[in-house]
Amino acid sequence: MRKEIVFLLILVLVMNLTLVGCGSKKEEVEKADKDETVLESDEEESAEGITVDKSLLSVDITLPSTLIEDVSDFNEEEYIAENEGIKAAKINEDGSLTLTMTKKKHEEIVSEMKEEVIASLSGLIESEDTPYIKEVEYNKDFKQVMLSVDREAYEDAFDLTPLFVGILVGTYQVYAGEEFYTEVIIKDVDTGVEINSVVYPDALED
C-alpha cells in the first residue's frame, strides 16, 4: 500500500474519533474561554508531522497538508458548531489543519481513542476475518503488540493485520502527542515461536 494512502486512512480515523469524544459540558468550555492565563506550552511533533501543542487550558493539534486531500468545502464555523468542545478549526496557509480544544476535552478524546484501540485489538481474536488469531497482548501505549496465531491457518491467509494494527495504534499515539512507534509481532500460539515482526512507521516507508 502506498504511503499516501496510509496517511489518508490515518486522517479518516483521527477525524472520526474526534467526533466520538466531543461531549463536555458547555459551562466547562465557557470557563476555559474566559481564563486568559497562559503557561509554557509542551509541543511535540510526531514522525509523520502531526503537531500537538499543549498549554494550560487548551490543546492545538495540527494535521499537515499531506494528510488532507481536499479542504475546498471545509467550513470552519460549521465544523465547530457540530463538534462541542472544539474551540477552533483553522485551515492554515500551508494547507494544514489546526484543531483547538480544551485540555480536558483532549484528555477525554485520547481516553476514548485508547478504549477504541483496546476494543479493536480484542475484536481480532477469532473474528470472521481473522479466525486464526487466538490471543492479543500489548504493553503500555501499545509500543509492542503481540498476536498469537494458529500458524497453519495464518500462513494460508492473506493477512493485513499488522498494517491495520500499525495504523490503529499510530493514530492513537500521534493524537496523544506521543512518538508513533509500535512493533507488531506474530507468533505461533502452540510453540511461542516468532513467525514475523513489523515495526511502524518504518514499514510505511518501504
Question: According to the model, what pLDDT value does residue 97 have?
Answer: 85
- In terms of Cβ atoms closer than 10 Å to its own Cβ (0-12, 13-18, 19+), residue 36 is exposed
Peptide bond into 162 cis (omega under 30): no
Distance CA 25, CA 69 (A): 32
Residue 110 or 83, more confident: 110
- pLDDT, tens digit (0-9, with 9 covering 90-100), for 24-73: 333 443 444 444 333 334 444 443 466 788 777 889 988 777 666 677 78
| Grid cell of 86 as nine digits | 472544539
Cα first-last separation, the chain: 10
Q: 117 with 56: CB under 8 angstroms? A: no
Which residues are registered as beta bridge partners of 99? 61, 89
Question: According to the model, what pLDDT value does residue 66 have?
Answer: 66
Q: Angle, to 10 degrees, between the axis of helix 103-122 and the axis of helix 3-20?
A: 120
Lowest mean pLDDT among 44-53, 108-117, 146-155, 161-170: 44-53
Residue 18 or 179, more confident: 179
Question: According to the model, what pLDDT value does residue 57 have?
Answer: 80
Contacts of 151 (CB under 8 A, 6+ apart): 188, 189, 190, 191, 195
Distances (CA, A) of 14 to 4, 110, 154, 194: 15, 10, 29, 31
Strand order in the sheet with 133-138: 133-138, 144-149, 182-188, 194-200
